[in-house]
């Protein structure tokens, strides 16, 4: 160290502290890790922590006084004093351990009682004892030590009294036998040479002093070759190589990387570190697509499965009501606004056959949900109201089904109404290439009524017939695979997801990976909330045990190995994070150039909260379409769950509006909202949320100025009014002129002056307005006006901007 004493404040930077003491920064970091503190070179530590580290820095040649002798471990301290007491007992040459006769003991005290806590002993000769005494080899601080064995109440064993002699020992010095003979015969000698140290502590010190060139850390790798993914945790890498974590951290610091024990590093960095320890690293990329190819089922294992049927169509055309009639339920009455706003999955027995129905929303905001429904389905039932017409969402559903190459069955609903016209619907669908079978096409048309039940049996029969034609098969054997069709946060269970199993059998306890999320299935429930132990192909189930809310549409895969599931999830998470960073950087640059060219655009900061992931996704997608170059929404947070205290705090700090869809506000969040004044808007119908957010965005726009023409005056006479400008006389040919109105002077239909009317008169009277076909005079601040010019009067009207 540079100084014996240093002065610091209540806090000190690690690098500065290392410079004051005079040691390298990695040594300080190692000391901090020993205290359970993960720090970096520029991090600040407290003065108390600095004191603890400074006290550990040893000075090799420093003189240690009696007052600052370090306190040893109590067991080692007691061992030192006990052995010291034994060493001071003088022995004759005949009574050394090597010459003790093996005779039966007299007045034996059990060895376990006399041994105390001293177990390791060595031989010591009388000559050595004499040499030690003649050289004055006496230990300071002479103390009385009582052995840890049982004695009588009057018996005491002094540790350093040279004149103390026990009768049995005196007898053995003369002729042998006695307790000490028995002790040395059955046990190793208690004493050792004075020039030898004792105990583990001294043995380590002696070993270290033998060869100072021995490396401090001995490396003994478990394997010469290891396999890792594109990313690996520091602690895991240390375990694979077979070294301590601080060594990995030191190597990382040498590479300029400040990491912690639980931090993730890239595979390339791990290779560089492992190369320093002569360990070869094989970086293995875990791709989910490759895993799916490996688990392709055998054709012999395929069995017939239930068809997956997606109900699609325009909002209010009766999709959910039709499904209610098939299931004999009342789902539609419970939907807010009477419209479906989530994907509903139901597995039931209808018409004697098993069918899985997916009910998708028909509102325009749920385009992504309809696209997902079409991609995972076998058959699309397109519902069109017979009393309406083909709507935009009807056409969109047709396009989704064709993109997914899925057959369409048209269900013409509401035929019970007097104004219904099924033939009109057929004619309109002809333009979209949906030709009925009776006209030579291949599209099945079924007339149904969700109210009366008419045509329901025929529709189910057509679904069964179509599924037989498709020959739908899947294997119930092996590890399950499916698709996430909905996700949410459920109170008491945390993140849950609705999974449609597409092959294999899903069981409780299975390890899974979906996107960047992995976990283990803790519970499964059907659409009615009944607990399930397993689920086969074409069965939708809600599962819990997720670490986070997954993205809808993600592939769900079961794996036998939890480690592999975690590696795949982490790999995809790192990949997604890297892509997000690149997109953010690109967007930032694009925004920078656009703002330079067009000026700073307004933005409405929003925090979106929804009951399910699909709703949040649909709401965000719809809001993104509202903005233009003048204003755009900026989403600070889009997540599933109720509005919490954290959301209120974020909104307050960033001046954002919280938009909640089918969620509530926590009690604590309500309290903070009252204090912070955060604007929180909760909705149960999505188009109400879209309308209000659009109005809020329009309110942030600058008002638009509209020009309205008032009238025209033909100039017939002009004369000067001195310093007051020019007096213009003329006839109002159309409209009217208003006092203080804005005017422009036109000559040959080109504007040569713009200003305002200073005064307006008829004869000698000041007037506020002059109507058509009346003559008047006005004063203008324009000297170049001529006879025959046209004076156009107009006013500017400020209006709210519209998106």
| Residue finishing a domain among 675, 699, 723 | 699
Whether residue 44 is contained in a domain is answered as yes
Q: How does pLDDT run across 242-286, given as a tens digit for each residue?
A: 888 898 998 888 888 888 887 878 888 888 888 888 888 877 665
Whether residue 525 is contained in a domain is answered as yes
Verify that 320 and 467 share a domain, yes or no: yes
pLDDT at residue 689, as a whole number: 87
pLDDT at 170 over 60: no
Q: Would you place residue 296 in the very low, low, confident or very high pLDDT band (cuts 50, 70, 90)?
A: low
Least confident range from 294-298, 471-475, 596-600, 655-659: namely: 596-600
pTM attached to this predicted model: 0.50
690-696 long-range contacts (CB < 8 A, ≥24 apart) are: 690/365, 690/619, 690/622, 690/623, 690/626, 693/604, 693/606, 693/623, 693/626, 693/633, 693/657, 693/659, 694/626, 694/803, 696/604, 696/657
Verify that 425 and 323 share a domain, yes or no: yes
pLDDT at 291 over 60: no
Verify that 409 and 336 share a domain, yes or no: yes
Q: How many domains does the chain have?
A: 6
Average pLDDT, the chain: 74
Calculate the dihedral angle through the C-alpha atoms of 455, 458, 462, 465, rounding to the nearest 10 degrees. 170
Verify that 745 and 784 share a domain, yes or no: yes
**Percentage above 90 pLDDT, the chain:** 13
What mean pLDDT comes out for the span 436-455?
89
Verify that 379 and 463 share a domain, yes or no: yes
Verify that 447 and 514 share a domain, yes or no: no
Which of the pair, 2 or 323, is modelled with greater confidence? 323
DSSP string, 272-314: HHHHTTT-EEEE----HHHHHHHTPPPGGG-EE---EEEEEE-
Whether residue 124 is contained in a domain is answered as no
Verify that 631 and 677 share a domain, yes or no: yes
Verify that 331 and 374 share a domain, yes or no: yes
pLDDT at residue 158, as a whole number: 45
pLDDT at residue 165, as a whole number: 52
pLDDT at 577 over 80: no
Whether residue 595 is contained in a domain is answered as no
Q: Which of 17-21, 62-66, 194-198, 413-417 has the highest mean pLDDT?
A: 413-417
Q: How does pLDDT run across 338-373, given as a tens digit for each residue?
A: 444 445 788 888 767 889 988 766 444 445 555 555
Distance CA 278, CA 241 (A): 10
pLDDT at 733 over 90: yes
Q: How far is CA 225 from the centre of its chain?
A: 33
Let me know: does 85 contact 157? Beta carbons within 8 Å: yes
Verify that 679 and 734 share a domain, yes or no: no
| Residue finishing a domain among 699, 732, 755 | 699
Which has the closest alpha carbon to 229: 567, 513, 557?
567
Verify that 383 and 465 share a domain, yes or no: yes
Q: Would you place residue 48 in the very low, low, confident or very high pLDDT band (cuts 50, 70, 90)?
A: confident
Domain carrying residue 620? 602-699
Let me know: does 650 contact 636? Beta carbons within 8 Å: yes
DSSP string, 200-261: HHHHHHHHHHH-TTS-SS----S-SEEEE-SEEEHHHHHHHHTS-HHHHHHHHHHTT----T
| SS3 track for 560-617 | CCHHHHHHHHHHHHHHHHHHHHHHHHHHHHHHHHHHHHHCCCEEEEEEEEECEHHHHH
Whether residue 205 is contained in a domain is answered as no
Q: How does pLDDT run across 484-523, given as a tens digit for each residue?
A: 888 888 877 888 888 999 889 999 999 998 878 888 999 9
Q: Would you place residue 290 in the very low, low, confident or very high pLDDT band (cuts 50, 70, 90)?
A: low
What mean pLDDT comes out for the span 379-404?
86
Whether residue 586 is contained in a domain is answered as no
Distance CA 422, CA 411 (A): 10
Verify that 362 and 449 share a domain, yes or no: yes
Q: How does pLDDT run across 651-706, given as a tens digit for each residue?
A: 888 888 999 988 999 888 898 888 888 899 999 888 888 888 888 888 888 888 88
**Percentage above 70 pLDDT, the chain:** 69
pLDDT at 411 over 90: yes
Let me know: does 383 contact 401? Beta carbons within 8 Å: no
pLDDT at residue 311, as a whole number: 87
pLDDT at residue 3, as a whole number: 63
| Residue finishing a domain among 636, 667, 699 | 699
CATH, residue 708: 2.40.30.10
Least confident range from 278-287, 305-314, 728-737, 744-753: namely: 278-287
Verify that 445 and 359 share a domain, yes or no: yes
| 3-state SS, residue 39 | coil
pLDDT at residue 113, as a whole number: 38
């Amino acid at each position: 160290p540079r100084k014996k004493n240093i002065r610091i404040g209540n806090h000190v930077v690690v690098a500065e502290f290392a410079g004051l003491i005079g040691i390298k920064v990695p040594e300080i970091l190692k000391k901090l890790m020993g205290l359970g503190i993960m720090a970096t070179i520029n991090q600040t530590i407290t003065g108390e922590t600095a004191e603890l580290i400074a006290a550990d820095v040893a000075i090799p040649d420093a003189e240690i006084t009696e007052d600052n002798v370090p306190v040893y471990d109590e067991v080692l301290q007691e061992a030192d004093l006990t052995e010291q007491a034994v060493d001071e007992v003088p022995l004759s040459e005949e009574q050394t351990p090597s010459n003790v006769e093996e005779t039966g003991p007299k007045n034996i005290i059990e060895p376990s009682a006399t041994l105390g806590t001293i177990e390791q002993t060595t031989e010591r000769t009388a000559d050595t004892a004499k040499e030690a005494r003649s050289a004055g080899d006496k230990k300071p601080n002479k103390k009385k030590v009582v052995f840890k064995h049982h004695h009588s109440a009057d018996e005491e064993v002094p540790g350093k009294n040279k004149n103390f002699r026990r009768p049995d020992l005196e007898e053995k010095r003369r002729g042998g036998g006695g307790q000490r003979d028995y002790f040395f015969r059955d046990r190793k000698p208690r004493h050792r040479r004075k020039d030898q140290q004792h105990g583990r502590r001294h043995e380590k010190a002696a070993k270290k002093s033998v060869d100072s060139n021995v490396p401090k850390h001995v490396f003994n790798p478990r394997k010469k070759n290891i396999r890792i993914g594109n990313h690996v945790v520091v602690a895991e890498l240390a375990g694979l190589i077979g070294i301590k974590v601080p060594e990995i951290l030191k190597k990382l610091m040498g590479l300029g990387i400040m990491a912690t024990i639980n931090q993730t590093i890239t595979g390339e960095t791990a290779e560089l570190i492992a190369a320093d320890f002569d360990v070869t690293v094989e970086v293995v990329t875990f791709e989910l697509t490759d895993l799916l190819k490996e688990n392709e089922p055998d054709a012999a294992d395929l069995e017939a499965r239930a068809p997956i049927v997606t109900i699609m169509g325009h909002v209010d055309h009766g999709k959910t009501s039709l499904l209610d009639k098939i299931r004999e339920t009342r789902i539609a009455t419970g939907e807010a606004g009477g419209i479906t706003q989530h994907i509903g999955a139901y597995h039931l027995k209808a018409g004697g056959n098993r069918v899985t129905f997916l009910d998708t929303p028909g509102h325009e905001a749920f385009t992504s949900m309809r696209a997902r429904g079409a991609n995972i389905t076998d058959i699309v039932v397109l519902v069109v109201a017979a009393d309406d017409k083909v709507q935009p969402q009807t056409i969109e559903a047709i396009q989704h089904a064709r993109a997914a190459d899925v057959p369409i069955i048209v269900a013409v609903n509401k035929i019970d109404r007097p104004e219904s016209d099924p033939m009109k619907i057929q004619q309109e669908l002809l333009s979209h290439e949906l030709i009925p079978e009776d006209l030579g096409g291949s599209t099945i048309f079924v007339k149904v009524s969700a109210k009366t039940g008419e045509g329901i049996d025929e529709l189910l029969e057509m679904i069964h017939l179509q599924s037989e034609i498709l020959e739908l098969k899947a294997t119930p054997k092996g590890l399950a695979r499916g698709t996430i069709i909905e996700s949410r946060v459920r109170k008491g269970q945390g993140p849950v997801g609705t999974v449609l199993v597409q092959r294999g059998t899903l069981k409780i306890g299975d390890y899974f990976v979906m996107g960047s999320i992995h976990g283990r299935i803790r519970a499964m429930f059907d659409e009615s909330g009944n607990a399930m132990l397993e689920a086969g192909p074409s069965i939708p189930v809600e599962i819990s045990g997720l670490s986070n809310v997954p993205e809808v549409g993600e592939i769900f895969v079961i794996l036998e190995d939890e480690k592999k599931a975690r590696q795949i999830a982490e790999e995809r998470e790192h990949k997604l994070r890297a892509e997000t960073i690149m997109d953010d950087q690109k967007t930032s640059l694009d925004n920078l150039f656009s703002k330079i060219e067009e000026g700073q655009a307004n933005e409405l900061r929003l925090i979106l909260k929804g009951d399910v992931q699909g709703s949040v996704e649909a709401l965000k997608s719809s809001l993104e379409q509202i903005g233009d170059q003048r204003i755009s929404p900026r989403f600070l947070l889009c997540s599933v769950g109720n509005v919490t205290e954290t959301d209120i705090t974020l909104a307050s700090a960033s001046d954002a509006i919280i938009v909640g869809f089918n969620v509530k506000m926590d009690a604590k969040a309500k309290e903070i909202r009252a204090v912070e004044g955060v604007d929180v808007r909760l909705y149960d119908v999505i188009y109400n949320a879209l309308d209000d957010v659009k109005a809020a965005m329009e309110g942030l726009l600058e008002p638009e100025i509209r020009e309205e023409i008032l009238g025209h005056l033909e100039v017939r006479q002009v004369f000067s009014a001195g310093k007051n400008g020019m007096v213009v006389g003329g006839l109002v040919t159309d409209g009217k002129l208003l006092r203080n109105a804005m005017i422009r002077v036109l000559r040959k239909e080109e504007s040569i002056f713009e200003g305002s009317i200073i005064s307006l008169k008829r004869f000698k009277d000041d007037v506020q307005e002059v109507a058509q076909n009346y003559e008047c005079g006005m004063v203008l601040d324009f000297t170049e006006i001529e006879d025959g010019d046209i004076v156009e009067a107009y006013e500017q009207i400020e209006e709210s901007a519209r998106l």
